């Protein structure tokens, strides 16, 4: 009986410790920005003259989740208009989603000192009957560039966006 109790205690302790482990990650890069993404996620990259993006999804995607990292140049007019105008555009974009319930915008600073804003939205994609949750972060990257990080999921688990936000930074030369 005592051996069974000790074994059960060992299993419970091991399970408790293993659930608190940091998730495995893999390095990623977008221009001179580097960040971590959950291990096993795949990506598709797109480049245009004014932007670069990586769309990431897990290999097994029952939660229907994705992370998009997009670096874009601002139009000269929007760059001159400043942070408040960029935040207004961020809110407007979320309100344009079907059946959108949009949070207030909040400021944030990443562990590497990138400053930005975040908004959350629940919405129903056109043609679907399921609600998705999105977190859209904009990080200001100099006077005329921004980095968008979008996490979207039907069944959200926020590890992926936390990993990206806590690791994104400019690569040292």
Q: Which domain holds residue 151?
A: 23-170
Q: Find, among 121, 130, 66, 63, the residue nearest to 94 by Cα.
A: 121
38 located within any domain? yes
pLDDT digits (tens, 9 = 90+) for 115-167: 999 999 999 999 999 999 999 999 999 878 999 999 999 999 999 999 999 99
As a whole number of angstroms, the distance between CA 93 and CA 65 comes to 19
Q: Which two tokens stand for residue 52?
A: 């670069």
125 located within any domain? yes
14 located within any domain? no
- Domains: count for the chain: 1
> In this predicted structure, what is the pLDDT of residue 139?
96
Q: What is the CATH number of the domain that holds 115?
A: 3.40.1000.10
Which stretches does DSSP call E strand in 124-163? 132-140, 145-153
11 located within any domain? no
151 located within any domain? yes
pLDDT digits (tens, 9 = 90+) for 4-62: 333 333 333 344 444 556 679 999 999 999 999 999 999 999 999 999 999 999 999 99
Helix (H) or strand (E) holding 164: helix 159-167
13 located within any domain? no
DSSP secondary structure letter of residue 23: P
SS3 62: coil
50 located within any domain? yes
pTM: 0.84
1 located within any domain? no
């Amino acid at each position: 009986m005592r051996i069974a109790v000790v074994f059960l205690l060992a299993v419970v302790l091991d399970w408790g410790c293993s659930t608190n482990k940091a998730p495995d990650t893999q390095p990623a890069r977008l221009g001179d920005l580097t960040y971590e993404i959950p291990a096993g996620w795949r990506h598709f990259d797109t480049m245009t003259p004014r932007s670069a993006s990586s769309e990431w999804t897990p290999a097994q995607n029952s939660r229907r989740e994705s992370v998009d990292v997009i670096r874009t140049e601002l139009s000269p007019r929007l760059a001159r208009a400043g942070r408040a105008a960029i935040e207004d555009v961020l809110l407007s974009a979320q309100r344009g989603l079907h059946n959108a319930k949009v949070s207030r915008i909040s400021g944030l600073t990443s562990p590497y000192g990138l400053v930005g804003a975040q908004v959350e939205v629940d919405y129903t994609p056109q043609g679907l009957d399921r609600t998705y949750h999105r977190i859209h972060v904009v990080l200001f990257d100099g006077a005329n560039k921004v980095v968008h990080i979008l996490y979207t999921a039907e069944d959200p688990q926020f590890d992926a966006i936390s990993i990206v936000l806590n690791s994104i930074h400019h690569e040292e030369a």
